[in-house]
């Protein structure tokens, strides 16, 4: 064999050795990556709170795997699109370059965040926040802004890469996790953005004042519940500087001008001016919050930096997450199971009799709110609770609109809007439905009223039509006359056993045409002005956006039920017709504070059509109808696509 051939074979052998070493290293990286992914799955599946230190150690391991993978095989991923024609795996190969960028961005963000928050995470791993004061937390976040911003930029890079991935073309094993990745990317960016904003919101650069509004959904109002009380909370340097709670009736200063009350309040309650306690007439929380700030009179003028509103359900769930509270004046620790009873008992006069309804009782009847809030704050500072469970509870309450947040900070406002956490009404890309009830009866009857809804869409009619049927049932068996009056009962539950004066509004797209609406006359003796009403439904433009509202007053006696129907033509953009088929989109919006209620949506497909896809996927098919049944506990988007047979 010639010398040249020996040299050639030597190069081939060297190449094979290098290839074997590369494959060996790549295999080790892949094995390490699989191991870390399995550990991550086990960590999230394990009962109890996640240990932040263990999670960060795992993130660092994953980061190392991805860096090694990018160095060893990053170049090869760009060959993936050349093999996009392969069955089953072709779509994944086409997406390989983008998927690697997603993994790189997410692990970089995680590693940066863990490094920036290390002192805080170590403290949480040790069982709480008792080792690190809130002031120190604020200072820590203020000093780590560069790292947090860099982490947010890494997440943005991952989101941009993920947006280029055709999810439908991915291998099913990967595609089924797409929803989880979507949420993870969204929450990661939101969490990092919140950490960047936190020092300002915590008053690290100067005092911030927030209103904490107590809503009572037993007396349901469009923006949640009747405003029973309000706290003025000031934070400075990351610590609570001052906290004052007031009865909502003590806020108004009638020496100052007030706007006129909404017409239904004037007509059915005799209220001619809108005070602070009635400021949440709009179901759009930013609108209601701005109105509340404008009408908050103590210390007027006062710079208010935001409004946080929460109802009884939110209080109950947050107490469950924080653990039993030692509340001043309470006979026993207040728990999730007892907090509502505690609130109602604290509201009642000491004697439990009408003789106890004194001026002194009236002035002190909401004093419990301050004691409960101070106890919750001390528990929050002490850290003796499952912080992950608490954070998830906060998120659930925000998404279900039992906890509402408005912040007068451009960055925070944009973050809340981006995540849909601001309680704002937003038009969908098609049909729209929002049912809004307002208890105008000076009582707590909503605690006894149950409701259900049925929405039927007929795409075979020309133009397509919709019919809404609402059913309200008063579960109280107390025999009481429907006499409009302002009366305080000795027991809270007696305030529930009253007739339900409900001013109902239905929000629909503005170019829908009302076809019919059932009428239920109301006797004059049931109404504040003593004048009977025909039950005719009024239609007027919604001030919050491109909708029309159908408004009508109804009175539901105790131990009775009422079914009411409306019909209208669909808005022009509710159905998007396509060659050979079409798409129907519906945004269902939930009223803040309202309890979850059963809702059925039935969509009758165009003649000669067959369903191609639907979201949510648990729809049922019955002939030419698509049927979706749900509990409406949060806003929902529904869409379905059909093709011609």
- The DSSP 8-state label assigned to residue 572 in this structure reads T
Burial of 586 (0-12, 13-18, 19+ CB in 10 A): buried
> Measured between alpha carbons, how far is 456 from 582 in angstroms, rounded to an integer?
18
| pLDDT computed for residue 373 by the predictor | 87
Mean pLDDT, residues 43-61 taken together: 69
Tokens of 326: 């030692």
Of 308, 372, 290, whose CA–CA distance to 276 is shortest?
290
- pLDDT at 213 > cutoff 90: yes
Residue with tokens 């009175």: 555
| pLDDT computed for residue 82 by the predictor | 56
| pLDDT computed for residue 22 by the predictor | 36
Q: Are 412 and 568 in contact (CB under 8 A)?
A: no
3-state SS, residue 539? strand
Domain parsing of the chain, residue ranges:
49-201, 208-419, 431-644
Q: Residue ranges of the alpha helices (H) in 383-444?
A: 387-399, 410-419
| pLDDT computed for residue 20 by the predictor | 40
Task: Please give the share of the chain, as a percent, with pLDDT higher than 70.
Answer: 82
| Class (C level, CATH) for 208-419 | alpha beta
Task: Please give the share of the chain, as a percent, with pLDDT higher than 90.
Answer: 53
User: Helix crossing, 145-163 with 90-116: angle to 10°?
Assistant: 170
Mean pLDDT, residues 480-496 taken together: 91
CATH architecture of 431-644: Sandwich (2.60)
| pLDDT computed for residue 382 by the predictor | 77
Greater confidence, 124 or 279? 279
State the pLDDT confidence band at 77, using cuts at 50, 70 and 90.
low
The 3-class secondary structure across 322-365, one letter per residue, is HCCECCCCCCCCECCCCHHHHHHHHHCCCCCCHHHCCHHHHHHC
Most confident of 54-63, 246-255, 366-375, 455-464: 455-464
The average confidence (pLDDT) of the chain is 85
Least confident span in 29-33, 94-98, 616-620 = 29-33
| pLDDT computed for residue 5 by the predictor | 47
Instruction: Note the pTM of the prediction, 2 decimals.
Output: 0.89
- pLDDT at 27 > cutoff 70: no
pLDDT in tens, 168-195: 777 776 677 777 778 888 888 888 899 8
Burial of 14 (0-12, 13-18, 19+ CB in 10 A): exposed
Greater confidence, 380 or 418? 418
The 3-class secondary structure across 92-158, one letter per residue, is HHHHHHHHHHHHHHHHHHHHHHHHHCHHHHHHHHCCCCCCCCHHHHHHHHHHCHHHHHHHHHHHHHH
- pLDDT at 32 > cutoff 60: no
Most confident of 197-201, 270-274, 488-492: 270-274
- The DSSP 8-state label assigned to residue 256 in this structure reads S
pLDDT in tens, 604-637: 999 999 999 999 988 999 999 999 999 999 999 9
pLDDT in tens, 569-604: 998 888 998 888 999 999 999 999 999 999 999 999
Pairing label, strands 620-622, 500-509: unpaired
- pLDDT at 556 > cutoff 90: yes
| pLDDT computed for residue 642 by the predictor | 95
| pLDDT computed for residue 644 by the predictor | 87
pLDDT in tens, 321-341: 998 998 887 888 999 999 888
- pLDDT at 551 > cutoff 80: yes
State the pLDDT confidence band at 18, using cuts at 50, 70 and 90.
very low
pLDDT in tens, 126-179: 555 555 577 778 888 888 899 989 989 988 998 998 888 887 777 776 677 777
Most confident of 4-8, 97-101, 375-379, 449-453: 449-453
- pLDDT at 224 > cutoff 60: yes
pLDDT in tens, 358-388: 665 555 666 678 888 888 888 887 777 887 8
Most confident of 81-85, 337-341, 351-355, 623-627: 623-627
Please give the distance of CA 518 from its chain centroid, rounded to a whole number. Answer: 33
Q: Residue ranges of the alpha helices (H) in 202-273?
A: 263-269
| pLDDT computed for residue 11 by the predictor | 38
């Amino acid at each position: 064999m010639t010398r040249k051939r020996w040299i050639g074979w030597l190069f081939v052998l060297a190449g094979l050795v290098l290839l074997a070493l590369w494959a060996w290293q790549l295999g080790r990286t892949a094995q390490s990556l699989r191991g870390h992914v399995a550990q991550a799955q086990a960590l999230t599946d394990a009962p109890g709170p996640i240990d932040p230190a263990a999670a960060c150690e795992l993130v660092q391991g994953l980061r190392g795997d991805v860096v090694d993978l990018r160095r060893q095989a990053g170049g090869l991923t760009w060959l993936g699109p050349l093999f996009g024609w392969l069955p089953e795996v072709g779509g994944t190969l086409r997406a390989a370059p983008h998927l690697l960028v997603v993994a790189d961005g997410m692990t970089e963000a995680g590693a940066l965040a863990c490094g920036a928050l290390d002192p805080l995470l170590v403290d949480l791993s040790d069982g709480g926040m008792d080792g690190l004061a809130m002031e120190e937390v604020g200072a820590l976040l203020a000093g780590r802004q560069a790292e947090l911003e860099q982490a947010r930029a890494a997440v943005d890079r991952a989101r941009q890469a993920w947006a280029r991935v055709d999810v439908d073309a991915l291998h099913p094993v990967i595609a089924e996790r797409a929803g989880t990745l979507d949420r993870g990317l969204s929450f990661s960016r939101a969490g990092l953005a919140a950490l960047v904003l936190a020092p300002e919101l915590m008053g690290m650069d100067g005092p911030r004042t927030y209103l904490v509004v107590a809503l009572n959904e037993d007396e349901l109002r469009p923006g949640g519940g009747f405003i029973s009380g309000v706290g003025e909370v000031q934070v400075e340097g990351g610590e609570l500087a001052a906290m004052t709670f007031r009865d909502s009736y003590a806020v108004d200063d009638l020496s100052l001008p007030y706007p006129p009350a909404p017409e239904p309040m004037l007509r059915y309650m005799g209220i001619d001016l809108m005070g602070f306690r009635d400021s949440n007439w709009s179901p759009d929380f930013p609108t209601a919050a701005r109105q509340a700030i404008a009408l908050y009179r103590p210390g007027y003028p006062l710079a208010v930096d935001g409004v946080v509103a929460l109802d009884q359900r939110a209080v109950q769930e947050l107490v469950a997450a924080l653990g039993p509270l030692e509340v001043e004046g309470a006979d026993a620790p207040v728990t999730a199971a007892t907090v509502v009873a505690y609130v109602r008992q604290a509201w009642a006069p000491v004697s439990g009799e009408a003789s106890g309804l004194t001026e002194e009782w009236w002035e002190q009847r909401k004093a419990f709110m301050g004691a409960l809030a101070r106890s919750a704050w001390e528990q929050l500072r002490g850290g003796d609770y499952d912080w992950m469970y608490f954070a998830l509870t906060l998120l659930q309450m925000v998404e279900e609109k039992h906890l509402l947040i408005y912040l007068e900070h451009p960055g925070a406002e944009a973050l809340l809007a981006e995540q849909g956490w601001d309680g704002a009404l937003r038009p969908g890309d098609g049909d729209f439905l929002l049912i809004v009830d307002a208890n105008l009866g000076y009582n707590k009857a909503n605690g006894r009223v149950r409701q259900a809804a049925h929405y039927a869409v007929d795409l075979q009619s020309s133009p397509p039509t919709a019919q809404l049927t609402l059913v309200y049932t008063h579960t109280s068996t107390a025999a009481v006359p429907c006499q409009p009056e302002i009366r305080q009962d000795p027991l809270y539950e007696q305030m529930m056993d009253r007739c339900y004066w409900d001013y109902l509004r239905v929000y629909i797209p503005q170019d829908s045409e009302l076809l019919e609406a059932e009428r239920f006359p109301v006797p004059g003796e049931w109404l504040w002005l003593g004048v009977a009403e025909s039950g005719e439904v009024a239609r007027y433009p919604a001030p919050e956006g491109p909708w029309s509202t159908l408004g009508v007053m109804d009175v539901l006696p105790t131990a009775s039920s009422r079914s009411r129907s409306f019909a209208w033509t669909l808005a022009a953009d509710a159905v998007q017709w396509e060659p050979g088929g079409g798409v129907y989109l519906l945004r269902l919006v939930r009223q803040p504070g309202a309890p979850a209620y059963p809702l059925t949506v039935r969509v009758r497909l165009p003649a000669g059509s067959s369903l191609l896809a639907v979201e949510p996927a648990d729809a049922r098919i019955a002939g030419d109808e698509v049927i979706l049944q749900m509990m409406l506990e949060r806003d929902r988007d529904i869409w379905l696509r059909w093709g011609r047979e």
